[in-house]
Amino acid sequence: MKVQSFDTKPDPNSRDPLKEEFAKATRIHMLSRIAAAERGMLNPRILDVTEALIGPDVYALQSMMFLNPPGKGGQGWHQDSCYIKTHPDTLMGAWIALEEVDEENGCLWVVSGSNHEPVYPPDGIGGGNVHALDAFGDLHAVQNVSNIDDEVNTLSKVVAKYPPAIPVKMSAGDVLFFHSHLFHRSYPNRTTDRYRRSYVCHYCNARSWVPWDHDGYEGDSGNYRQILARGSTSQPYAEPAFGTEVYLTDTDEAGESVTMMGMDNGMMMPMGMKKE
C-alpha cells in the first residue's frame, strides 16, 4: 500500500474521525490490501456489471482511495491503459463516489467518444507493443500526461478535437464504469469545507496477460498477483487475502460447452443431432 501525501496540519475544529489521516494524504494506493477495502473491490454488485462488460472471467487488479481535501487533488488528462497494460487490452475502471461529487469539489470530467482513441504513449514509456515491434511507430508520443496544466499536457491537443468535456456529478454510492482509453481528468477541490472522497478500482478480463502488479513490475507476467474475482482462467491468479467470497466457475462447469455444427440453412445445431 502506498500513500501520496501533502502533510499539512489537521483542522482542530474538524469533527471528522479521520481528520488526521486526511490531513496527511491525497490518495492511498492498493487499499484493498486491508480487509474491508478488499470487500469493496470484490463487491458482487460491482462485479455483476464488470462481468457483463468484460467477463465472464474477471481479474481485480487495483484499488485507490482518493481523498481530495479542500484545495487539493486534481489530475490532468490521461488514459488508464497508459499506466496499467493488459494484453488483450480489456482494462476498465469503476469509480465509486463516497459522497456528493460536483464541479466545486472536483468531480471527474470525461470526453465522450474518446474511448475509441488509441492509447497515446508518453515519451519514454513506449506504446505497450507485444509482438508487433515498432508497429505503432506513427502513433505520436505525448508529454506530461496527467499534468493538470493543459499547456504542458499535450494530450489536451487530442482532447481539443472533441466536443467539450462533460462533468460527471455523482451522489454517494453512485458508480461510474468507464473504458480504459477514455480521456478523463479532475480539477482541484475548490471548496473550503468539503472532501471529494472516492474509491476507484480497476479490472480486466482474466484471460488477459498482465505485465503489471502495482509494485513497479513490468515483465513477463504479473498475473499471479491479480485476484480472480469471477469465472475461471488458465492464467496464474491470486485468491482474496481476507477471505472475501467470490463466485468462480467450477472446472466441470467450465467444460460443459456445447459443440456446434453447421446446417444447410446456415444455422448451427448441437453435435449429435441429425440433419433431416
254-266 confidence digits (pLDDT tens)? 555 555 566 666 6
Mean pLDDT of 57-62: 97
Maximum alpha-carbon separation in the chain: 83
Across residues 85-109, what is the average pLDDT? 96
| Strand bridging mode 75-78 / 184-186 | antiparallel
**pLDDT at residue number 45:** 97
Q: Is residue 91 part of a domain?
A: yes
**pLDDT in the model for residue 145:** 92
Where residue 17 falls among pLDDT bands split at 50, 70, 90? very low
Q: Taking the C-alpha atoms of 31, 33, 36 and 42 in order, what is their torsion angle to the nearest 10 degrees?
A: 90
In a domain, 271, yes or no: no
Give bridge partners of residue 29 from the DSSP assignment. Answer: 2, 64
> Does 114 map to a domain?
yes
Query: Where residue 192 sits, what CATH number does that domain have?
Result: 2.60.120.620
Give which of 215, 248, 235 is closest to 62, Cα–Cα. Answer: 215
268 lies in a domain?
A: no
Residue 163 lies in a domain: yes
pLDDT of residue 185: 98
State which residues form the domain around 132. Answer: 25-253
Q: Look at strands 247-248 and 268-270 and give their pairing.
A: unpaired
**Would 2 be classed as within a structural domain?**
no
Least confident of 84-93, 177-186, 216-225: 216-225
| Number of compact structural domains in the chain | 1
Output the pLDDT for position 183.
Answer: 98
Cα–Cα distance between 147 and 29 in angstroms, integer? 19
In a domain, 123, yes or no: yes
Count of CB atoms situated within 10 Å of the CB of 83: 17
pLDDT one-digit tens code per residue, 179-219: 999 999 999 999 999 999 999 999 999 999 998 888 767 67
Name the grid cell of 271: 453435435
Indicate the DSSP class of residue 120: P
pLDDT band at 140 (very low <50, low <70, confident <90, very high): confident
Check residue 122 and give its pLDDT: 82
Strands 227-231 and 247-248: parallel
Residue 5 lies in a domain: no
